[in-house]
Structure 1
Amino acid sequence: MSCILCCVDGKSYSQSACDYAVMISNNMKLPLKILNVIEHSSKSNLLDLSGNIKLGEKDDILEKMTNEEATRSKNIIKEGKDLLLSLKEKALITCEQEIILMQAHGEILDNILELQDEITVLVIGIKSQDNHKIGENVKDIIRELKKPTLLVNNEFKIPKKILIAYNGSEESKKVLISRSINPIFKNVLRDIVNINDDKILSEKLLKEAKDIYAKQNIDVTTSVLSGDAKTEILTYMDEKDCDILAMGAFGHSRIKEFIFGSFTSEIIAQSKKPVLFYR
């Protein structure tokens, strides 16, 4: 069964992510699943195991570690369940679709990929501003999950304008066609930009994008940008007061990313507005 999946941890804008997920669930008329993943750690906070362990102490130490881990796990599980119930209680106020709560154990990426056949849109909260290092799990999720992923990095705000970065690739055309037929966001203004020093080519690509939306009677505004792509996009976002950026993600291999850096990672780290990534 197709659904909107919202991953929450109680720390990274979980309430805001849930609010966006509710809105998307209503827009696309799909059930909302709220997932909390328990990632277990074997690190002990109580014991100092440096130095030698005396004869007869081993069993006591193992018992203490086992009890500590059991207590920690029980607390984490309870906190996760309380979070899910709290988010559902608020979501029920505005959500028009079924709400399903899920708690799972293990790695967050593995749990998301297990649900990938059901996911239409993934919503996840992150903290990414002020040179905050983006966790590899977030980048891996975007790389591995071939579904639209909304990264929420701010308080919830009903979007009024979306900026779409369009490069004219076959993949991006398919994205525009599918999203114009079944929009993730409704009742919004759409600005489409192409960053290209070749103005004639850029205008051709933007006309192509505009025609795709015109078939669904959706008006868009188009603009040609030139220069550093990251700077131009983020500046446009600020100057035109766009609420969400929509763009493709990770167009290069990991080796190229290591050598030249990742445009996607830089956008995630520096954008002050939510970013919707397509793969």
Structure 2
Amino acid sequence: MSYILCCVDGKNYSYSACDYAVKISNNMNLPLKFLNIVEHNHYSSKVDLSGSIVLGEREDILEELAKEEEEQSKTAIKAGKELLKELKQRALEKCNNEVIISQLHGEVIENILELENEIEALVIGIKSHAEHEIGENVKEIIRTIHKPVLLVNSEYEEPKKLLVAYNGSNESKKLLQQTSNNPLFKDVKRDIVNLNTNKIESATLLQEAKEIYTKKGYEVEIKTLEGTSEDLLINYFNENSCDILAMGAFGHSRFKEFLFGSFTSKVLSKMRKPLLLFR
């Protein structure tokens, strides 16, 4: 059974992620599954292991660590279950499809990869763990999973305009096909931009992209952004009242970087609205 998967932890815009996931579930007419993953990698804040351990203290310290980890795990499990129940109730108010909740244990990336063949789209709430950084779990998910991933980094707003960054790569073409044939966000305007110093090449690429959307009846605007700076993309997004930025993996084309090369990494750090990423 295919479904929309929404990963939640209670800290990183879980309620906003829920609302976007409901929207996608309704648009794609698929069940919605909320997943909470309990990672058992707690570190003691009470035991100081920086100095030497006196003979005979080792067993006491290990026992204390084990007890603390057990208590932290119990707390995380309970909080996760309560969050899942709350989000299910929230989703059922507007979701037209089945809503499922699940709690798993272990590494985040391993659990999600096991579900990848069942997922049509993945929704994750994110919040910077430090200035201009996002969590390693999120980076690893985007590097690895081959399904659309919506990163939710702000409060929910009804999507009215989607900005598509198109560069002609296979990833960008996949993005166009996905967002036109079985769109995660229906009935929204689409602006398509191409970052390029070659105006002729850019015009060809943009016309190619526009035709895909207009055949499906979408209202489309196209524009060349002269240059390759991520600031051009973000400024256009902000100045043209866009709600979601959709982009493929620029790393395999002119930018010659992997998905988390400097371009994508900078976009992620500077964006203050949701990002829809494709590989």
Alignment TM-score, normalising by the size of structure 2 = 0.92
Which residue does 2:164 correspond to in 1?
Answer: 164
Which residue does 2:212 correspond to in 1?
Answer: 212
Which residue does 2:241 correspond to in 1?
Answer: 241
Letter in 2 for 1:27: N
Which of 72-81 and 127-136 deviates more?
127-136
Counterparts of 1:130 and 1:157, CA distance in 2: 25
State the percentage of identical aligned residues: 58
Which residue does 2:221 correspond to in 1?
Answer: 221
Shift of 1:166: 0.7
Which residue does 1:18 correspond to in 2?
Answer: 18
Post-superposition CA distance 1:165-191 (Å, at most 9, x none)? 111123422331232111110121100
Letter in 2 for 1:121: A
Shift of 1:234: 0.4
Backbone CA RMSD of aligned residues: 2.1
Secondary structure of the 2:82 match is: helix
Shift of 1:105: 1.1
Which residue does 1:52 correspond to in 2?
Answer: 53
Secondary structure of the 1:68 match is: helix
Secondary structure of the 2:269 match is: helix
- Map of 1:89-108 to 2, 5 A cutoff? 89-108=89-108
Shift of 1:250: 5.3
Cα 1:69–1:183 change in 2 (3 A) is same
The gaps in structure 2 that reach 5 residues or longer are none
Which of 118-127 and 41-50 deviates more?
41-50
Letter in 1 for 2:122: L
Letter in 2 for 1:21: A
Counterparts of 2:60 and 2:204, CA distance in 1: 73
Which residue does 1:86 correspond to in 2?
Answer: 86
Cα 1:45–1:131 change in 2 (3 A) is closer
Counterparts of 1:73 and 1:230, CA distance in 2: 41
Cα 1:129–1:159 change in 2 (3 A) is farther
Secondary structure of the 1:94 match is: coil
Which residue does 2:269 correspond to in 1?
Answer: 269
Indicate conservation of the 8 Å contact 2:162/2:246, yes or no: yes
Counterparts of 1:42 and 1:235, CA distance in 2: 40
The gaps in structure 1 that reach 5 residues or longer are none
Counterparts of 1:19 and 1:172, CA distance in 2: 26
Shift of 1:148: 0.6
Which residue does 1:43 correspond to in 2?
Answer: 43
- Map of 1:243-262 to 2, 5 A cutoff? 243-249=243-249, 251=251, 261-262=261-262
Indicate conservation of the 8 Å contact 1:40/1:105, yes or no: yes
Counterparts of 1:185 and 1:24, CA distance in 2: 6
Cα 1:264–1:95 change in 2 (3 A) is same
Which of 39-48 and 220-229 deviates more?
39-48
Indicate conservation of the 8 Å contact 2:8/2:34, yes or no: yes
Shift of 1:42: 4.5
Which residue does 2:31 correspond to in 1?
Answer: 31
Alignment TM-score, normalising by the size of structure 1 = 0.92
Secondary structure of the 2:117 match is: coil
Indicate conservation of the 8 Å contact 1:2/1:120, yes or no: yes
Poorly superposed stretches of 4+, deviation over 6 Å: none
Letter in 2 for 1:51: S
Indicate conservation of the 8 Å contact 1:6/1:124, yes or no: yes
Secondary structure of the 2:210 match is: helix
Secondary structure of the 1:246 match is: strand
Cα 1:257–1:128 change in 2 (3 A) is farther
Counterparts of 1:88 and 1:22, CA distance in 2: 10
Indicate conservation of the 8 Å contact 1:192/1:221, yes or no: yes
Indicate conservation of the 8 Å contact 1:164/1:247, yes or no: yes
Counterparts of 1:19 and 1:68, CA distance in 2: 35
Cα 1:129–1:161 change in 2 (3 A) is farther
